Amino acid sequence: MDPYLMRLAVFSVDDTLAQRLQSVQPPKDCVVETVHSSKPDPDLAKSCRVLVWDLPGTSLHEARDLCGPKTKLIFCSDAQTLNSLSVQEAEQADLLWPLPLIPTMALLDLRQLLSGIQSEHLLHLVVQCMDTAMDSIPDMFWFKDMEGIHVRVNQGFCAVVGKSKEDVTGKDHYYIWDVSPDDPNSGAESCQESEDAVIAAGHTLQFREQVKSPSGMRQLTVYKSPLYDEDGTPLGTVGIGRDVTSLENMTAEIDILLSGMPYAVLLRDEHGRIFDANKKFEEDFDTEKEDIIGRSYDQWAEEAFFPGRSENSEGFLEGDTRTGRRMELRKDNIYDIFNQVVGQVCIFRDVTLVRQMEAQISQHANTDFMTGLNNRRALYLHLHQNCMGNPIGLFYLDLDHFKSINDVYGHDAGDEALILTARLLEENCPHDFIARMGGDEFLIVKQGSIPMEELESQAQDLLQNLRAAYQARPNFAKLSASVGIARCESLSGDVEDLIRHSDTALYQAKEGGRAQYRVFLDA
């Protein structure tokens, strides 16, 4: 996929601001194109992704009127003008920058805004991929909430019920199938019973459901699975179904299902022998159906997958194939007319792209884009998930004379100093959790019961190593660092206290002359 292009337009009487903002570090897999204009340009304002408005004598309302529907507006003006804005007026801008501008803060704001835009872009791609995947399934496909309301459906669902997506979304069983709540044969009760059964079971179940429609009774074969939020609370169900009213027997249903499924499907008998597979299976596993029919399923799986298959968060087996794909396996039993298990259907879903996108989104949400270190969000997650109730030490580190680097050598040199510092911290603290707090501030988390004397020794060694590395570079010869140390024997729920303690110690190190450490001591 090509890098995501974001156009940054700067409306300012001169190009100084535009030149400063050109140094912003773009999010990963993004390209930022900076365009300058000394006067309002309507076409540029509507086509850009971010507009920085710094034109004296103009209003915020005028700036917003020129923007496109997706344009993020940053409005610059003096503090008095910005303070005079009402809340309703201020909401017209995405960011307000008081003049004179603080370059470091402006770049940080801009970088965060660009990261948010990229997150919106990635979310749009995920939703679009999901809708496209759903509509590629010829069967009925739907999501329902706990109240039985249809939240999302595919085109196959609409074709069966004879209604559009817009008409179906947000509606219940009675409306969709044009039946009365007072009709005992509507099928709503059995449908709700299957929903309850899926939630109670906590995994995929297969059902035969009869529903009443204007064209008569319909027979559906459905698979339903529970949906949960991040804390395990049931959100509803997802279902896939086929109208088999006119099918004469199960064999015909299986043949049509196999040929129409966009997933790789394999069938095995009650003895574990493979007896059928579809075309998609042949493509995904780079094999011919004739070469595997009659073989043991377990033996084939050992050859088709690399070792290390495991259960994913949804409870399904997942692993890497030797054809370079990440596949999720869903299994369901096949029953005969006497409800005896006569085999099993194995559905393999290619989740390679989904897992890559999940990893990318997670990385973007928890990583500082300039240095590659953990960000503030990742820090709090780490503390809450890994450190609660345990002994911990914090080093709050801040660079000394960093502003002079930006002032004398420019912001590119300042960025280089931050990146160098990040690499040095990783080299000197390879087993610790390191986060960039913002600007030139970093936090190092040292887990375990480490005596204060050892923490002080580590801090002193770290400061010396940083100083030596800075002095080896002419532009950074005046650069050094200060550290505030705080520790506790058992981290409680309020981690902010410990962070504030380390920040207080850092302030004392700065006040004491810089290039040194200080330890937080209770008053």
Is the per-residue pLDDT at 511 higher than 90? yes
Tell me the percentage of the chain whose pLDDT exceeds 90.
59
Other CB atoms within a 10 A radius of the CB of residue 124 amount to 10
Q: Give the pairing of strands 517-519 and 140-145.
A: unpaired
> What is the phi/psi pair of residue 235, to 5°?
-105, -25
The residue-averaged pLDDT of 373-395 equals: 91
pLDDT of residue 188: 79
pLDDT band at 190 (very low <50, low <70, confident <90, very high): confident
Torsion angle of the four alpha carbons 445, 448, 452, 457, in this order, in degrees rounded to the nearest 10: -70
Distance CA 359, CA 346 (A): 26
Q: What is the pLDDT of residues 274-293, one digit of tens each?
A: 988 898 999 999 999 889 98
> 4-132: what CATH class?
alpha beta
Identify the pLDDT of residue 256.
Answer: 66
Indicate whether 23 pLDDT > 60. yes
Instruction: Pick the closest to residue 483 from 432, 448, 523 (CA basis).
Output: 432
Most confident of 183-192, 225-234, 288-297, 457-466: 457-466
Residue 80, pLDDT above cutoff 60: yes
pLDDT tops 60 at residue 250: no
Residue that is written with structure tokens 């997706």 in the block? 70
Predicted pLDDT at 249: 38
Strand ranges inside 336-421, DSSP E? 341-350, 392-400
How many Å apart are CA 395 and CA 443, to the nearest integer? 6
Which band of pLDDT confidence, cut at 50, 70 and 90, is reported for residue 313? confident
SS3 at position 17? helix
Average pLDDT over residues 366-389: 90
pLDDT band at 241 (very low <50, low <70, confident <90, very high): confident
pLDDT confidence of residue 297? 94
**pLDDT band of 252, cuts 50, 70, 90:** low
Residue 82 has pLDDT above 50, yes or no: yes
507 compared with 192, residue with greater pLDDT: 507
Does residue 479 contact residue 402 with C-beta atoms inside 8 Å? yes
- pLDDT grade for 109, boundaries at 50, 70 and 90: very high
d(CA 154, CA 135): 5
Residues 368-379 as b or e (16 or more Cβ within 10 Å = b): bbbbebbbeebb
Summarize the confidence of residues 133-162 as an average pLDDT: 90
Report the 10 Å Cβ neighbour count for 288: 10
Is residue 448 scored above 60 in pLDDT? Answer: yes
> Mean pLDDT over residues 179-199, rounded?
84
Tokens of 459: 């801090």
367-519 is a CATH 3.30.70.270 domain: yes
| 182, pLDDT greater than 70 | yes
Residues 6+ apart with CB under 8 A from 324: none
% of the chain at pLDDT higher than 70: 95
Highest mean pLDDT: which of 337-351, 439-453, 484-498? Answer: 439-453
Q: Taking a C-beta distance cutoff of 8 angstroms, is the pair 55, 40 a contact?
A: yes
Cα–Cα distance measured from residue 484 to residue 466, given in angstroms and rounded to the nearest whole number: 15
Q: What is the pLDDT of residues 128-147, one digit of tens each?
A: 988 898 889 888 899 999 99
Nearest residue to 200 (alpha-carbon basis) of 166, 234, 153, 152: 234
The whole-angstrom separation of Cα 497 and Cα 75 is 35
pLDDT attached to residue 215? 66
Closest CA to 277 of 266, 293, 291, 263: 266
Q: Say how far apart CA 432 and CA 374 lie, in whole Å.
A: 11
Q: Given this model, what pLDDT does residue 245 score?
A: 59
What is the amino acid identity at position 336? D
Least confident among 63-72, 208-217, 511-520 = 208-217
pLDDT(246) > 60 = no
Mean pLDDT of 78-94: 93
Which H or E run contains 358?
helix 352-366
Cα 5–chain centre separation: 20
**Phi, then psi, of 82 in degrees rounded to 5:** -65, -35
78-83 mean pLDDT = 92
The predicted-structure confidence for 322-363, as pLDDT tens digits, reads as follows 888 899 999 988 875 446 787 888 999 998 888 888 777 767
Cross-strand pairs, 347: 265, 330
Q: Which CATH number fits domain 134-354: 3.30.450.20, 3.40.800.20, 3.30.70.260, 3.40.50.1970?
A: 3.30.450.20
Mean pLDDT of the chain: 89
pLDDT for 151 beyond 60: yes
Q: What is the mean pLDDT of residues 1-9?
A: 87
Q: How far is CA 444 from CA 379, 419, 498, 520, in A?
A: 9, 16, 12, 15
What is the residue type of 198? V
Look at residue 255 in the predicted model and tell me its pLDDT: 63
pLDDT over 80 at 243, yes or no: no
In order of 142, 259, 292, 368, the CA distances from 137 in angstroms are 11, 11, 26, 39
50-54 sheet: strands from edge to edge = 30-37, 4-12, 50-54, 72-78, 95-99
Token duo for residue 249: 């027997």
342 close to 336: Cβ distance less than 8 angstroms: yes
CB-side neighbour CA atoms (13 Å) of 271: 6
Dump pLDDT digits (tens) for 196-210: 999 999 999 998 887
Structure tokens at 48: 């850009």
Mean pLDDT across the stretch 396-411?
93
Contacts for 484 with CB less than 8 Å, ≥ 6 apart = 395, 396, 501, 502, 503, 504, 505, 506, 507, 508, 509, 517, 518, 519, 520
Q: Give the per-residue pLDDT at 312.
A: 84
Segments making up each domain of the chain, as ranges: 4-132, 134-354, 367-519
pLDDT at position 487 over 80: yes
